[in-house]
Amino acid sequence: MKRLVEIVRICLFAVVITPIANTAFASDDYLYRASCPQASGQVDQWRFFKCECTSFVASRLNRDGIAFSNHYKGPRWSHAKYWKGVAQRLGIAVDTTPRPGDVAWWDNGEHGHVAYVDSVNADGTVNISEYNYQRKHDYGTRRVRAKAYIHFGGSLTVQDLWVKSNAPIYAGERNGFDAQFKLKNNSRQTVTVAKVAMSIHQSNHKHVSDMKVINNVRIPAGHDYHMQKTIVNSPATPGQYKVVAKIYQNGQWKDLASTPFTVIKAKVTTPTLNSVELIAPTSLNENSCTNLTVVGKFSDGSRKALSPYSWREYSSATTINSSGRLCASNVTRDDRIMVRAYVRYDGKSYSPSQYLTVKNLGGGVTLKSIKLQAPATLNENSCTNLSVVGEFSDGSRKALSPYSWREYSSATTINSSGRLCASNVTRDERIMVRAYVRYDGKSYSPSQYLTAKNLGGGVTLKSIKLQAPATLNENSCTNLSVVGEFSDGSRKALSPYSWREYSSATTINSSGRLCASSVTRDERAKVKAYVRYDGKYYYPYQYVTVRNGRGSPTPKPSPTPPGAKTPSRIYIYGCSSITEGRYCSYKAKVYYTNGTRKYVSGAWTDDSRYAYFRSSRLYASNVSRNQYVNIRVSYTENRKTVTRTKRVKIRNR
């Protein structure tokens, strides 16, 4: 016969509480009762002979949710007289203490006898149901004492019994732990239990306390009852304990299952840090010092000085050392400052802060005004030293030290000491210089204008002209140039930083090469160059007529082939503002009439002397204040040109 294997769950115990009426004996519910005694000698579904005591007990055990058969858990159980020995070999409890749902066992006669325990009486006798004893191959009941009782388990089983704690359980503390179990009804009928309890017992079974007791628990067939409790106060005495799941039925308590836990000696608690405070006076006189401290407040109400690993003060009027000694210098007015300490305690970091006022004692003078001193003019190719002077409330004047300088011109340079130098200029040029000063906790930025003087030795640009042919035949190209005329009568080619043409029939590259496409008639096109010379911007332009081929008939424009895509609109993607001296790259995306879109390399131009294009990259020039530039992109495909303009801000730093 094939051996049966049962998977046994850890911490799962069972006790029988058989669902019966209010009588000592249960009624005959044997599965084959209608065919007895005629069916004796036939094999039942559990591999016992029908209408025998073994078959009836197997029927009752299966009713209670125990999958019992002649090969239960492997070995052959055979005649009733062998059941006790088989059960003991399998580790199934066998003793002389009956419980409802047990199997009563005798080894009398040739084959022995087994019966089902319906209930237990106060005198220790049991009420049993049986087959094939009083009446051959038929049902009967008796009140008896059996030689032994086999505890298979029954309709109620305890599942998922556990104790859980996030920390060790200390004796007598309110650290708390959780316990729970599930009481499952495995029978086909509803079970009502007088009381269900979760209790704490010592390891010697002595009752300590009831965690939770529920009366009249009704558990439907196939359902379970969940009991859970959070214990706030742990047992007062260290030792081994267990949480017990138990029920009260038929006038007595029955322990169903238990799980152990350990209670250890209460630890010596260390107070925890609740808050950290920086102790500082509300005010500190100028030219004096004070020692700051940091104090921690703990959970037991105590206070203790802590040692910061770093200090910081936020003022130019004070200094602080690594020991927390704060010193104030001379101030011209009361100055409110913040001091911060950095503390690490028990693995955590704290940064308490405090405000205090550095008091002016009335002997100081205050800064009334500040001025940048610079000459009105500076000759080209020469240098001068600039300075900043402060005027004070007592009438005195004192030189101040700027932490930075700045000049707003391409013709001059200035170093960190305020030395301003002018390069060669072709004309007088007015420039602005600014200094950045911090004094007594405040910031100042005085400025001054001066003129870089041209000494007359240089030539100046008088005019600028774009040189282009008056006409350009279709499908041909020409090179354009820009020429400057100077004050000494000389002429010199200049290099534009950008070109632009205003016609769908022409294109121009960054070198000034203008090309005309095929035209159906003469077409007048405008071309513009963008030139920067000696700090100034020029925009010379010229008109060119693109000629249709002479003597040839004017061709009709060919229609766009069916299905060919034509651009419907174009968008510009890139910066809305650029800081002076920097650049930004732009992209153009074309949307077509057939719903497609793609990035394209359009023709980029701008309308300002404050910026210029190189390919699709816009470079911003230096500006003395914020300026705006209109950039434009155009793109032609299948004789359809689309354009878009975007306004860009050039930001002064």
pTM for the whole structure: 0.29
Q: What is the pLDDT of residue 132?
A: 92
pLDDT at 419 over 70: yes
pLDDT band at 127 (very low <50, low <70, confident <90, very high): very high
Q: What is the mean pLDDT of residues 21-45?
A: 80
Token couple for 246:
């138990």
Q: What is the pLDDT of residue 456?
A: 67
Query: What are the DSSP calls for 368-437, one per residue?
Result: EEEEEE--SEEETTEEEE-EEEEEETTS-EEEE--SEEEE--TTEEE-TT-EEEE---SS-EEEEEEEEE
The residues spanned by each domain of the chain are 13-150, 156-263, 273-359, 369-453, 461-547, 567-651
Of 3.90.1720.10, 3.10.580.10, 3.90.180.10, 1.10.3720.10, the CATH number of 13-150 is 3.90.1720.10
Q: What is the pLDDT of residue 394?
A: 79
Q: Is the peptide bond before 37 cis (omega within 30 degrees of 0)?
A: yes
In 3D, which of 273, 338, 348, 337 has the Cα closest to residue 305?
273
Most confident stretch, 44-53, 205-214, 436-445, 550-559? 44-53
Q: What is the mean pLDDT of residues 156-178?
A: 76
The fold adopted by the segment(s) 461-547 is Immunoglobulin-like (2.60.40)
The fold adopted by the segment(s) 156-263 is Immunoglobulin-like (2.60.40)
pLDDT band at 292 (very low <50, low <70, confident <90, very high): very high
The fold adopted by the segment(s) 369-453 is Immunoglobulin-like (2.60.40)
pLDDT at 640 over 80: yes
pLDDT at 280 over 70: yes
Q: What is the mean pLDDT of residues 236-246?
A: 86
Q: What is the pLDDT of residue 250?
A: 55
The partner residues of 442 in beta bridges, in order of sequence, read 439
Matching CATH topology for 13-150 and 369-453? no
Q: What is the mean pLDDT of residues 186-214?
A: 80
Q: Using one digit for the tens of pLDDT, what is the confidence trace for 298-317? A: 988 889 999 998 999 888 77
Q: What is the pLDDT of residue 279?
A: 93
pLDDT at 536 over 70: yes
The span from the CA of 98 to the CA of 605, in Å, is 104
Q: What is the pLDDT of residue 364?
A: 61
Check if the beta carbon of residue 311 is closer than 8 Å to that of residue 436. no
Token couple for 259:
């799980």
Q: What is the mean pLDDT of residues 135-149?
A: 94
pLDDT at 554 over 60: no
pLDDT at 460 over 90: no
Q: What is the pLDDT of residue 556?
A: 52
Q: What is the pLDDT of residue 103?
A: 94
User: Residue 95: CB partners within 8 Å, gap ≥ 6?
Assistant: 148, 149, 151
pLDDT band at 211 (very low <50, low <70, confident <90, very high): confident
- pLDDT higher for 598 or 165? 598
pLDDT band at 8 (very low <50, low <70, confident <90, very high): very low
Q: Using one digit for the tens of pLDDT, what is the confidence trace for 494-531? A: 888 888 888 878 888 888 899 988 888 888 889 999 88
User: What's 273-359's CATH class?
Assistant: mainly beta
Q: What is the mean pLDDT of the chain?
A: 83
Q: What is the pLDDT of residue 82?
A: 95
pLDDT at 172 over 80: no
Q: Which helix (H) or strand (E) holds 644?
A: strand 640-651
pLDDT at 414 over 70: yes
Range 293-309 burial, b when 16+ CB lie within 10 A, else e: ebebeeeeeeeeebebe
In degrees, rounded to 5, the angle at the alpha carbon of residue 323 between the alpha carbons of residues 317 and 324 is 40
pLDDT at 427 over 80: no
Q: Using one digit for the tens of pLDDT, what is the confidence trace for 65-83? A: 678 999 998 999 999 999 9
pLDDT at 355 over 90: yes
Q: What is the mean pLDDT of residues 352-356?
A: 93
Q: What is the pLDDT of residue 232?
A: 64
Q: What is the mean pLDDT of residues 277-299?
A: 91
- pLDDT higher for 106 or 220? 106
pLDDT at 84 over 60: yes
Q: What is the pLDDT of residue 563?
A: 61
Query: What are the DSSP calls for 468-520, one per residue?
Result: --SEEETT-EEE-EEEEEETTS-EEEE--SEEEEE-TTEEE-TT-EEEE---S
Q: CATH number of the domain at 567-651, please?
A: 2.60.40.3460
Please state which of the ranges 263-277, 285-299, 468-482, 624-638 shows the lowest mean pLDDT. 263-277
